[in-house]
Amino acid sequence: MFSKILIANRGEIACRVIQTARRMGVRTVAVYSDADASALHVAMADEAAHIGPSPVGESYLRGDRIIEAAKATGAEAIHPGYGFLSENPDFVDQVTAAGLVFIGPSAASIRAMGLKDAAKRLMEQAGVPVVPGYHGEAQEIVLLASKAREIGYPVLIKARAGGGGKGMRRVDHPDDFPEALSSARREAKAAFGDDRVLVEKYVEKPRHIEVQVFGDNFGNAVHLFERDCSAQRRHQKVIEEAPAPGMTPEMRKAMTDAAVKAAKAISYSGAGTIEFIVDASEGLRPDRFWFMEMNTRLQVEHPVTEMITGVDLVEWQLRVAAGEKLPKSQKEIALSGHAFEARIYAEDPQRDFLPAIGTLHHLSFPTETPAGSSMRVETGVRQGDAISPYYDPMIAKLVIHANDRSSALQGLTEALKATRIAGSTTNIAFLAALSQDADFASGDVDTGLIGREQETLTAIPEPGGNIVARAALAASGARPAGAMTDDPWASLSGYSHFHPIERRTVLRRSEQELHAGVTAQPDGRYLVRIGDGTATVLSKTDFQDTVSWPGHVTVFADGAAFTFAVPDPFASAEEAGGSAGSMRAPMPGLVKLVRATEGETVKKGQPLLILEAMKMEHTIAALHDGIIAEIATEGEQVMDGTVLVRFVEEA
């Protein structure tokens, strides 16, 4: 076994690898960029090496610097995690040429499966079913459009490299094909450096079911059952589970046999995932699944497989890379219970899941789970850390295991509702709503479920009077009896000769400004008046699930986080956001394409520019009719709130 490994990654996956390595007595080396100098994975590792500035192209994608760090620290092997260089065969060649071990498959295996078109041709030869489509080399738009007509609309344009939904577009009509193709190519080029695509038949009720496979260097290959990843938004997974709901023994055998056959076809070694698209229009049938792609690395959702099998996949990775045989045979791998994983992101579901940034002023996860279930939290951040615009905005993965699906789902819902995050917008309320959706709860899920129900799943009710009152109470500076504080007035119960002292405060939420008065009562409770409305009486228990952070108060209720700004009466600042005269960037990003010019008259809803953030494209459309006075330039890097468009002011 290795004595020391370097982890060529960051965040939660780096922390995850460190945990297993530590248990096995293997020392670890972390790498970090400028933005990650004080990150959790750096603090957890035995050693750390700086590899460059914050942008990934200058740090985590610099294979040469990573290899230099490994050699300088005496690491014997490199674990790539997922993303970044994990599926880059050239990097694997560089690692082995440097006399180090790559903890993963061979460069040849990665190349064989790295491009979707070539991989599908290879799978056809191996007898693995593939989805109908065009997987050829020619990329002329006339040919691709012709193939789309032959296949029959709707079709799916997919980048032949990479994954994660990037460079993927559904097209329902021939007239929309050219624009969708251009957009997919731009996104694919930005994400993977390769703008070539393939065109496939779009399955009307698709389920995304994948099989975890594992191979060693002695010709052995096994599966560790399947995962269902059909709950997706914008082609990116949200909640994964294992095993797949509705799975029959016949269907499982057909899929796992095909997955192992695929792994053996390329002499695969290490952890890998064979992804299948399944037509669920008539239930799960052995003749209705097709190979999509292979991920030649550890998956984000690997914990659900670990929970139902009791296998530590990272440990297996280290053992196989160190030259050992697979720790278990197929007969020794058993499936037990059911597991869910929910991906908690800094993003705004009400704004079409736009990535968010911010400082995690409050971060806490539940300490208890319902009886009969177990929980693990995979995270790479701590309270006080900042969500950077440079990297994926994942905060944590919440994983629940129980004896059956219903119990595991109940545990997931309760754990989500008990998770508290303030300082950045998150998708927790959305995840909690999805976990309670009737179709999802019944197992009737396909990749279009979230899209169909997005408005309902992302809706957050306006805060009721009790929530507003609790926010006002927290903003007033009050503390429950016995709380430690240096402020002698914090209890609001100072001396008053005639009447109880009332502390006034102001709250802002969206465009609404709320004025409140808080008065301490002789019995230890508080009277809260909002404007001229009805007063609310609160007790010390109402301090629970409420946190204050610089300039804000957040109240947690039933999985939702209601945040109010608390204006500083002695300071004022220009507010960010769109106005009648301007439009501002909704997130940090790169102005990828500008579709309007200064002086142009535009209509409401007309696309003005395309902003690229987190390697995904977001169209910025006019909020109203008007004449453009000024517009951002292509290639400009902007921050959240940067003015993108100014309109000519009406006389």
Residues that are catalytic: 297
Residues in the chain, overall count: 651
Residues 458, 555, 513: CA angle, nearest 5 degrees = 85
Closest CA to 161 of 134, 133, 191, 186: 191
What is the C-alpha to C-alpha distance for residues 648 and 625, in angstroms, rounded to an integer? 11
Please give the C-alpha separations between residue 153 and each of 139, 159, 538, in angstroms, as whole numbers.
19, 18, 59
Can you state the percent helix, strand and coil of the chain, rounding each to 5? Answer: 30, 30, 40
Token pair, residue 296, equals 């030649």
What is the C-alpha to C-alpha distance for residues 332 and 153, in angstroms, rounded to an integer? 45
β-pairing verdict for 4-7 and 77-79: parallel
Burial 363-379 (b: 16+ CB within 10 A, else e): bebbeebbeebebbebb
Strand order in 4-7's β-sheet? 47-52, 27-33, 4-7, 77-79, 101-102
CB neighbourhood size of 170 (10 A): 15
What is the C-alpha to C-alpha distance for residues 638 and 595, in angstroms, rounded to an integer? 17
Farthest-apart Cα atoms in the chain, separation: 91
β-pairing verdict for 338-345 and 168-171: unpaired
What is the C-alpha to C-alpha distance for residues 611 and 355, in angstroms, rounded to an integer? 12
Residues 227, 233, 239: CA angle, nearest 5 degrees = 35
Burial 198-236 (b: 16+ CB within 10 A, else e): bbbbbbeebbbbbbbbbbbeeebbbbbbbbbbbbbbebb
Query: What string of DSSP letters covers 476-510?
Result: TT---TT---S-TTTTS----SSS--EEEEEEEET
Token pair, residue 500, equals 């109880």
**609 DSSP β-pair partners:** 594, 620
What is the C-alpha to C-alpha distance for residues 325 and 216, in angstroms, rounded to an integer? 6
The single-letter DSSP state of residue 579 is: B
What is the C-alpha to C-alpha distance for residues 304 and 376, in angstroms, rounded to an integer? 10
Cβ–Cβ < 8 Å for 354, 342: no
Report the half-sphere exposure of 229 (CA within 13 A, side-chain side).
27
Strand order in 643-647's β-sheet? 582-584, 643-647, 626-631, 601-602
What is the C-alpha to C-alpha distance for residues 306 and 401, in angstroms, rounded to an integer? 10
Burial 4-28 (b: 16+ CB within 10 A, else e): bbbbbbbbbbbbbbbebbeeeebbb
